[in-house]
Structure 1
Amino acid sequence: MTAVADPVTTGSGPVSVAEFAAVAQRVLPAGIWDFVAGGSDTELTLAANRRALDRIGLVPRVLTGSPGCDTRAELPGAPAAALPVAVAPMAYQRLVHPDGERATARAAAAAGVPFTLSMLSSQPVESVTAQGGVTWFQLYCLRDAGATADVVRRAEEAGCAALVVTVDVPRMGRRLRDLRNGFALPTDVAAAHLDPASLRSTHERRPGASAVAVHTAEAFAVGLGWDDLARLRESTRLPLIVKGVLDPRDAARVAELGADAVVVSNHGGRQLDGAVASVDMLSAVREALPERCGVLLDSGIRGGTDVLRALALGASGVLLGRPVLWGLAVDGEAGVRRVLDLLAAELLSALELSGCADLDAARRLTARVADGRPAPGGVR
């Protein structure tokens, strides 16, 4: 894992995206930090995401004659995003800062990247889209199909630019940190898009249990299948992004059903512990998809070089998750802005040092794993 200086002990502010973690851990209560940082079971997959990214080396090009770099990207509902990046969906952001999702949305708008609002947001979609910028809405299918349809219509009417359906949560993974902490939401934080009468269990602390996991087991649909995804595709006019795909066979089926993009993701190591690192499946998923279908990488992104690695392996872009929450915890909107500004600076530096004038050139880079073998995927 990449070592970074501790900006607290060194007396400086964070000068890289990764350095925000140490500051955020100091300002957050231990139980909330564990909720943000933790993975499932023994956290093997959580650690594997970083190891897999760190072992990918890039082969820079020289004498390309490029006077500068263009970082603009075409993403669903955001044809001129400033970066090949979207903020990942993350629940209950008022846990880490009172302004919560509204602050994150403003920072994403300022950075020119889409913000993905979780269905388990602690602030309503209407108040978030009012902050400006491009908002994607993340959806979990509920046991009550009518309630799911209502949430989709609400997102459409609020002006969301795309729908991101998460498909890797047939049940919530066993997150041992939350179980040990008996984690529950404070009474002033709740899922803004769900029936308030159903939310009492999220605030009930129980030894050895996660109140969030108890609630999702009560609320989320079980036994979802391909017909459910097909009905969702038919029910919305929004671009459809399917998040949580690792197997190329599943990716191909998702594309056949009309998805506009796939997110290669193991849920940041929070679902099946022992699942393959997301980046290890990126190129195989890209090869299984038609050209029209975008592919985004999620899980473990911690800096601009990671974004470049993803592009070199064929990604359209990435989702940035935990670092955004670190910035929000440290300094609200300004903290998220700083994280996104640093990511942009890191990506620009990586592109220039690798001889890439734009993202298409980045996708033509050669990537190699640590033992020198060519990494699969990308354009050669």
Structure 2
Amino acid sequence: MSHFAQYQDGVYADATEGRLPSLPYHHEQLRDMAAGRLEPGPFGYVEGSAGRERTADANADAFARYALRPRSLRPGAEHSGDLGVTLFGRRYPSPLLTAPIGVLEQVHEESELAVARGANPVGVPVVLSTASSTPMEEVAEAADEWWYQLYWPSDDELAESFVRRATAAGASAIVVTCDTKRLGWRPRDLSLGHLPFLRSQGTANYFSDPEFRSRLKADPEPGGVFTEAVFHFLGAFASKALSTENIARIRQWTDLPVLVKGVVRGDEAADLVDAGVDGIVVSNHGGRQIDNAVAALDALPEVVDAVGDRATVLFDSGVRSGADVAVAMALGAQAVLLGRPWVYGLAVEGAAGVEHVLRATLAELQITAELMGKDAAELDASDVTRRP
């Protein structure tokens, strides 16, 4: 039985001793604190989205269109509220994971290591971005549980190297992001000329990779051919020919579960499952890739229907609270990836800020599930309705 809800009791108990929380519990307040800590470039990179940011707005607005339908007086309701879920044969204490977000060195000097230290006490797996600021092997030493997110590069041999490294380092799953064949049109970054990769930020997995380094005339270290390494990275970052056939090749490189992230159509999800994918992450990249795209939450039921029980469906984009997680699970997600909120916690208080956000999200989720009269994994379409 999960006990995340006890976090709320601890906050009130601390208050009786005059100890109030140093961080807020509303996403908007935490975001504003992070904006005061970060330089405009890094803050705009995290907060910004594609075009007029209509997709990002739609992601958040979509949650307001769905209402939970509590039924508190269920038989056995006194036992409800457990958050445990089983994914790919492994039992997890909650359905929450950290979404893969790269270039975290611009947010906090300890980057992914701080994320791991914040997530470990809460039992939340870290999904590590290919564009991380720390090599995957170092993150593996710090993280109790982690998955590896792959931006499939233009060089298939480099893709294979990344997957084999992640498998050898102890990742529990491979998550292929399919919606980033190139960077989306992001006006905030353009206005500031802020592309951190040009400063060699977010390149740690590349610069530490033997396959990548073998393509260079000199090592990408101080005194090496820095410009060559950066521009080779930019050329290798993403494959424009990514297809279900490419993704199926991962089976030759790893025996880990393989998920594809960035799917908002049922027909594409079905094709991927036919190709042997184990899981789908319904996501529009938090609105960062295409402006005026469908809200990820609105796409979730279609993907769930198309996949059925043939694969595991996860969700991200627009999640800002534990109640949002409950809505996504009622619509069919078996687990949820949380993104921007913990990044702002990281910016303000490092590992402690990450832990704060995750604990608060899980406490609200457990309280919501208890008040719904169900365990989180039992939430289904009968527990949610679309508002007029």
Q: 1:190 to 1:59 in 2, by over 3 A?
A: closer
CA contact (8 A) 1:89 1:321 kept: yes
CA contact (8 A) 1:164 1:241 kept: yes
Residue number among 170, 173, 176 corresponding to 1:162 in the alignment: 173
In 2, the alpha carbon distance for the partners of 1:81 and 1:19 equals 30
State yes or no: 1:366 paired with 2:380: no
Shift in Å, 1:53: 1.0
**Which shows bigger deviation, 14-23 or 290-299?**
14-23
State yes or no: 1:56 paired with 2:66: yes
In 2, the alpha carbon distance for the partners of 1:217 and 1:178 equals 20
- Percent of pairs with identical residues: 38
Between the two proteins, the alignment pairs up a number of residues equal to 351
CA contact (8 A) 2:84 2:377 kept: no
| Deviations, residues 148-192 of structure 1 (Å, cap 9, x unaligned) | 111111111111110000011122101110000000338573411
Q: How does 1:188-267 map to 2 (within 5 A)?
A: 189-195=201-207, 197=220, 200=227, 216=234, 219-267=237-285
SS class of match (1:221): coil
**Which shows bigger deviation, 292-301 or 186-195?**
186-195
SS class of match (2:101): coil
State the match for 2:87 in structure 1: 75
CA contact (8 A) 1:241 1:263 kept: yes
SS class of match (1:301): coil
* Greater share of residues in helix: 2
| Deviations, residues 332-380 of structure 1 (Å, cap 9, x unaligned) | 0000000000001110111122222x12432254312220xxxxxxxxx
In 2, the alpha carbon distance for the partners of 1:199 and 1:267 equals 30
SS class of match (1:285): helix
Q: How does 1:323-334 map to 2 (within 5 A)?
A: 323-334=341-352
Q: 1:11 to 1:293 in 2, by over 3 A?
A: closer
Q: Which residue identity does 1:39 align to in structure 2? A: S
In 1, the alpha carbon distance for the partners of 2:45 and 2:92 equals 30
Report 1 or 2 for greater relative contact order, CA contacts < 8 Å, sequence distance ≥ 6: 2
Q: 1:342 to 1:162 in 2, by over 3 A?
A: same
In 2, the alpha carbon distance for the partners of 1:355 and 1:26 equals 40
Shift in Å, 1:15: 2.6
Residue number among 90, 107, 126 corresponding to 2:101 in the alignment: 90
SS class of match (2:384): strand
Residue number among 292, 296, 310 corresponding to 1:278 in the alignment: 296
State yes or no: 1:345 paired with 2:356: no
Q: Which residue identity does 1:194 align to in structure 2? A: Y
State the match for 1:99 in structure 2: 110
| Deviations, residues 197-248 of structure 1 (Å, cap 9, x unaligned) | 5974898xxxxxxx9xx96465321122221111123332111011011110
State the match for 1:377 in structure 2: none
SS class of match (1:47): helix
In 2, the alpha carbon distance for the partners of 1:202 and 1:278 equals 35
State the match for 1:173 in structure 2: 184
CA contact (8 A) 1:171 1:217 kept: no
Q: TM-score, normalised by structure 2?
A: 0.85
SS class of match (1:238): coil
In 2, the alpha carbon distance for the partners of 1:216 and 1:355 equals 50
Q: TM-score, normalised by structure 1?
A: 0.87
Q: Which residue identity does 1:228 align to in structure 2? A: N
| Deviations, residues 96-125 of structure 1 (Å, cap 9, x unaligned) | 111100110122221112100001100011
CA contact (8 A) 2:23 2:353 kept: no
CA contact (8 A) 2:153 2:236 kept: no
Q: 1:249 to 1:188 in 2, by over 3 A?
A: closer
State yes or no: 1:26 paired with 2:36: yes
Segments of 4+ moved more than 4 angstroms? 196-199, 214-218
CA contact (8 A) 2:124 2:145 kept: yes
| Deviations, residues 83-108 of structure 1 (Å, cap 9, x unaligned) | 11111100011111111001101222
State yes or no: 1:355 paired with 2:364: no
CA contact (8 A) 2:83 2:377 kept: no
Q: Which residue identity does 2:50 align to in structure 1? A: S
In 2, the alpha carbon distance for the partners of 1:155 and 1:199 equals 25
State yes or no: 1:13 paired with 2:31: no
In 2, the alpha carbon distance for the partners of 1:241 and 1:90 equals 17
**Which shows bigger deviation, 105-114 or 68-77?**
68-77
Q: 1:162 to 1:339 in 2, by over 3 A?
A: same
In 1, the alpha carbon distance for the partners of 2:311 and 2:21 equals 46
SS class of match (2:206): coil
Shift in Å, 1:51: 0.6
In 2, the alpha carbon distance for the partners of 1:316 and 1:183 equals 36
In 1, the alpha carbon distance for the partners of 2:162 and 2:314 equals 24
In 2, the alpha carbon distance for the partners of 1:225 and 1:361 equals 34
State yes or no: 1:44 paired with 2:54: yes
Residue number among 312, 325, 329 corresponding to 1:307 in the alignment: 325
In 2, the alpha carbon distance for the partners of 1:62 and 1:270 equals 38
CA contact (8 A) 1:168 1:267 kept: yes
In 2, the alpha carbon distance for the partners of 1:105 and 1:76 equals 21
Give the root-mean-square deviation of aligned CA atoms: 2.3
In 2, the alpha carbon distance for the partners of 1:361 and 1:226 equals 32
